[in-house]
Amino acid sequence: MELALLPAEQAMLAGDLGPGVRKAMEIIVALGRIYGARRLVPVGSVQVAGVSYRNLGDAGLEFLQEWADQSARARVPTTLNPAGMDLCAWRELGFSESFARCQLAVIDAFRRLGVRTTCTCTPYLVGNVPCVGEHVAWAESSAVSYANSVLGARTNREGGPSALAAAITGRTAAYGLHLDENRRATLRVSVRCPVGTLSDFGALGYLVGRKARNGVPYFVGLEDACSDAALRALGAAMAASGAVALYHVAGVTPGADEPDVLPPDPETFVVDDLQPAYAALNSDVRKIDLAWFGCPHASLEEIAAVVRLLGGRRVRAALWITTAREVRAQAEAEGLVAAVETSGGRVVADMCAVVAPMQELGFRTLATPSAKGATYLPSHAGLQVRYGTVEQCVEAAVSGVWLD
């Protein structure tokens, strides 16, 4: 059946609202036709990825500026994924003037497009919390996983242009995870080993993502173990290792209770040992240049946990906690930023180490409790990585070496 457009959508496609809106609707319609959608659905919010100038380059910047020049504007609440630097403290952190100038030009283009220039992969921690069943168009893989799985909203993993097109039209095509039939589990995961720390959840996610590959895992055996931070670590790791955009946890996530979510006699994947994930995500590097926390961007509780573990000790390696600017402001009000800085660390807003020019900043080795970070940093940022618990990473920052 053909993709059916409402009169208002046809008007956008015809250019009645200007060339920028027409271009956006052309993208939405093209995707709808490619994926066999029959209709478009309104979206409640959008989260745009492709924000770091390091990834966009001049071609990406010019694309955004041209769209902004065509008077296209977001018509639903829209935020950004992390950029390649802290938009305020970039100079103190050592970013170059030339990189900063280009990164700020990207942010300015988004601002002209009507986008709220909050740069975070956890928009749900700064007020963008979709309802169960709400259609949204989010782009960042860990945020997509959280929105679908933990919040029960509905989104495909959008690319940068398609997310921006959804923001400008307020629509996305109804295919993929917007439809009930694609939200059913494809793999039952039986967890039969202890999963306690955040890095354990990341390790579990790494293994399951590699097995599920674009599928929808259904976890049993985690009912009593899942904090919100644990679910974020689990989902982010699966998104990185296997492009998993939706998962269910029996007795925990809203989708797990939906009728028929688990088909009869599904394939079952048993996880009884997390060590293969720790082995795969670790190099043997000993000296640590930077301990990085906040991937996905840290909550206030996660910042407080690092402060507790530091206990006022000075760090020898650099220590960064990345977070949303709004969360950083809360942390500042509660004295957490000052505590981190007293130890010699930084609470860094707006950015992500995976999309930042880390080598230009002088970093070669990094410790992190994030499986997603450990998956991407070697290939995307050229760093050697140590992966372990939050406690191990804090100790690595304090001593400057990885202690097994």
Q: Using CB under 6 A, pick the residue from 142, 156, 299, 365 that binds ligand F3S.
A: 142
Residue 170 or 202 with smaller CB distance to ligand F3S: 202
Contact letters (x/-) for ligand F3S, 5-44, by CB under 6 A? ----------------------------------------
Q: Using CB under 6 A, pick the residue from 372, 387, 392, 393 that binds ligand F3S.
A: 372
Residue 321 or 397 with smaller CB distance to ligand F3S: 321
For residue 279, count other CB atoms closer than 10 A to its CB. Answer: 10
Q: Using CB under 6 A, pick the residue from 102, 144, 249, 352 that binds ligand F3S.
A: 352
Residue 12 or 240 with smaller CB distance to ligand F3S: 240
Q: Which of the stretches 171-179, 208-216, 291-299, 356-364 binds ligand F3S when contact is defined by CB under 6 A?
A: 291-299
Q: Interface with ligand F3S includes 356 (CB under 6 A)?
A: no
Q: Using CB under 6 A, pick the residue from 3, 24, 121, 177 that binds ligand F3S.
A: 121
Contact letters (x/-) for ligand F3S, 296-335, by CB under 6 A? xx------------------------x-------------
Report in angstroms the alpha-carbon separations of 382 from 94, 310, 359. Answer: 18, 28, 7
Q: Interface with ligand F3S includes 373 (CB under 6 A)?
A: yes
Shortest Å distance, C-beta 198 to ligand F3S: 13
In sequence order, the 6+-apart residues with CB closer than 8 A to the CB of 148 are 154, 155, 177, 183, 245, 246, 255
Q: Which of residues 260-289 bind ligand F3S (CB under 6 A)?
A: none
Shortest Å distance, C-beta 321 to ligand F3S: 11
Shortest Å distance, C-beta 284 to ligand F3S: 23
Contact letters (x/-) for ligand F3S, 184-223, by CB under 6 A? ----------------------------------------
Residue 236 or 291 with smaller CB distance to ligand F3S: 236
Shortest Å distance, C-beta 168 to ligand F3S: 23
Give me the sheet containing 365-368, strands edge to edge.
346-349, 318-323, 290-293, 365-368, 384-387
Q: Using CB under 6 A, pick the residue from 64, 115, 295, 398 that binds ligand F3S.
A: 295
Size of the site for ligand F3S (CB under 6 A): 15
Q: Which of the stretches 35-43, 273-281, 328-336, 370-378 binds ligand F3S when contact is defined by CB under 6 A?
A: 370-378
* Residue 25 to residue 14: CA distance in whole angstroms: 9
* Residue 276 to residue 59: CA distance in whole angstroms: 40
Q: Interface with ligand F3S includes 237 (CB under 6 A)?
A: no
The contact set with ligand F3S (CB under 6 A) reads: 81-82, 121, 140, 142, 236, 295-297, 322, 352, 354, 372-373, 376
